[in-house]
Structure 1
């Protein structure tokens, strides 16, 4: 169907190539409309190609995400926008807290190499003062902890609102469930950093070892003591 202003398409949902056809039609509409001038917006001519290029890249990334369920390319195109999102809780915090660990991992992989000179997704704290690394430790998610620490060892020095560092939070997990994670974390820490974190006391005046002992996490306490 077509009128003087816009062309509309109807897709048969049973058509096997419906997805490819939709992409072709989206590209057609984009080509027809992207150079329309309007008096409501003023864009310098030298910026139009950059905007068009970005929109094209974003479109391709969205299509790849829909087709493959892999958001990596989409995150690459939007990571600066995600970093600038300043509302609480941060989007990465929600992904980790709600158990969307695959999405969280993909996002972390895309932002972990970004400059640490200005606060980004990995430095952003939630309402409990937890960075993504601290929240991952609290939930004993080694796969997330590993990718952050291997690229950003400096983030292990962060503490939450109760002055708990990463080892405090792991030592607090009941039934010695965090033993393997603690062992892996200790192997990634430098000697000085390991000693500092083990000696550090939270607002309850407890070290990570003392927390493990108070929770009857004897295996975790032994690991921390040996370090």
Structure 2
């Protein structure tokens, strides 16, 4: 992919699989810039952005910070138990409203009105970061996951619900794109194969990739 060439081609909204919807260019430049600044604030605490250590001792190449509930493999906590034990920042009302807008854009206004996210995971990818194929299974309720892309584009692999093997689809997610997966696709395996350096829009003041995912945990 040569950066910039795909900008000449239409990027229509499409249902990638049942319940998995890609809405290109959903966030305008102003909202992207606002979210980038918020991510910078969230990364400074009270629970700091960190690299997650997996149970097998491996360290994820992305760096993460949580809001509302702190994500650890494979559970949630109200405190950052793997990053100093600080209390997790509250889930922002602005993200709750944005999540409802996102689900409405994907599934319609009735579904958007019912969406009550209570946790966010902000992942930062540098040029070398990747995300292996995985399922989001820590939540106790089968509500959609909302994914917002900011900064550098990436190649996102969206697979099936049974295993990490084919069938899958590789999708280019660029800054401002929305991806929502729920229903039959809620537990699909997915991951990020690579980022595409040099593709971040100049107007948002950020190089590198930020991914904000919103979830409804079902926890009390």
TM bin, normalised by shorter chain, reads under 0.3
How does the TM-score come out when normalised to structure 1? 0.23
Determine which structure has the larger strand proportion and give its number. Answer: 2
More helix by share: 1
Larger radius of gyration: 1
